[in-house]
Amino acid sequence: MTVQPPDELMTQSFLPAMRQLVAIKLRSEGLSQSKISALLGITQASVSMYLSSGPRKAISTVAKFSLTPEEAERYSAVLAEDVRIDPVGGVRTLNSLWTGILGSGAACVSHREMYPFLDDCDFCMKKYGHKESTRSKALADVADAVKMLEASKTFVSVMPEVSVNIACSDGGLDPAGIVAVPGRIVKVRGRAKAMLPPEPGASIHLSRILSLVRKSKPDVRACINIRYDRKMDRVLRSLGLEILGIMGERDEKAGDPTVEALERALDRPHEDFDAIADRGGSGIEPNVYLFSQGARDAAALAIRVSKKYSAGQRS
């Protein structure tokens, strides 16, 4: 029996191309070749080859899976951020991106070119395609919240460069069970756009933040991140939101500096809060995290903030 699964496309084509784009992104952020080698689990010689050959071939390769150069840049930026925070999170994000490609049918053309006898195969689309009927309450909540953000004309004004995610818990504290958007919500033609449908465990970073906050605020079930600056601080306070400030500092060590800073802040005496502002530091973009009792409520609050923020930009 001949068995030719699409995994070959992942290991022989998609994975090397994405590794190259991530290596180039990490180098642009100032990381050494040895550090990139350690983060990606490849040899320093491979990193050197990736950096010297440039991104053109990798972009051409991922285009075979219906990814535009702009999408390839966003995917690599997301993966670069994830592997710096948590290598396991990077694996999870990469797998979500790949299964999303399989579920959409974007790998079928390349797969059938390799093996023409698979002409009538639709296994991946049935296996990995989004199934509305299987959504949990948290999945449905996040999916609806994403639609609200995508429909908003002003939300893009408060999206940070690291992009946005929104997380929701069904009631548990385990980050792996918290629903979020794989690959985050990014800017596309002046609007917010989710890369993939929501799924459990899709954002370890935001899920850890939500889990930490839920320990002292059990009514909180959802969290969303948006940009943070002095103007945002004024907007949040004008809406009556209490802010807990933290400051994450990234260094060469593995780990999530925002989560570590939040853990320290919550261990100390503090006032009640509605939002957490990571004021940023070396290698950390300032972000504010808004909390609510559900994903739709979190999206509605973020849109309300964006309207006030963008109105100030026009004035």
Instruction: Dump the DSSP string for the chain.
Output: -----THHHIIIIIHHHHHHHHHHHHHHTT--HHHHHHHHTS-HHHHHHHHHH-SHHHHHHHHTTT--HHHHHHHHHHHHHHHHH-HHHHHHHHHHHHHHHHHHTTTHHHHHHH-GGGTT--HHHHHHS--GGG--HHHHHHHHHHHHHHH-SSGGGG--TT-B-EEE-SS---GGGSEE-TT-EEEETTEEEESS--EETS-HHHHHHHHHHHHH-TT--EEEEEE-SHHHHHHHHHTT--EEEE-----SSSS-HHHHHHHHHHHS-----SEEEE--BTTB--EEEEEESSHHHHHHHHHHHHHHHHHHHH-
How many other β-carbons are positioned within 10 Å of the β-carbon of residue 60? 12
Q: What is the pLDDT of residue 43?
A: 94
The residue among 29, 309, 10, 314 whose CA lies nearest residue 162 is 29
Q: What's the rounded mean pLDDT across residues 41-46?
A: 94
Q: How confident is the model at residue 313, as a pLDDT?
A: 56
Residue percentage of the chain with pLDDT more than 70 = 92
Q: Which of 87-96, 126-135, 140-149 has the highest mean pLDDT?
A: 140-149
As given in the structure block, the two tokens for residue 176 are: 């792996």
Query: Could you report the per-residue pLDDT of 206-216, keeping only the tens digit for each?
Result: 999 999 999 88
Domain 133-314: CATH class, spelled out = alpha beta
Q: What is the pLDDT of residue 120?
A: 76
The mean pLDDT value for 103-107 works out to 85
Does residue 178 have a pLDDT over 80? yes
179-180 sheet: strands from edge to edge: 199-200, 179-180, 166-168, 222-227, 287-292, 275-278, 243-246
Among candidates 241, 216, 253, 218, which has minimal Cα distance to 302? 241
Among 70-79, 91-100, 132-141, the minimum mean pLDDT is found in: 132-141
Mean pLDDT estimate for the chain: 87
What is the C-alpha to C-alpha distance for residues 249 and 296, in angstroms, rounded to an integer?
31
219 in Cβ contact with 213 (< 8 Å)? no
Instruction: Give the CA diameter of the chain.
Output: 69
Q: Which is nearest to 282 in space by CA: 31, 33, 25, 82?
A: 31
Residue 264 in tokens: 């320290």
Does position 295 have pLDDT exceeding 70, yes or no? yes
Where along the chain do its domains lie?
7-129, 133-314
Res. 189 pLDDT band, cuts 50 70 90:
confident
List the end-to-end C-alpha distance of the chain, in Å, as a whole number. Answer: 69
Q: Which residue has the higher pLDDT, 26 or 103?
A: 26
Q: Is the pTM of this model over 0.75?
A: no
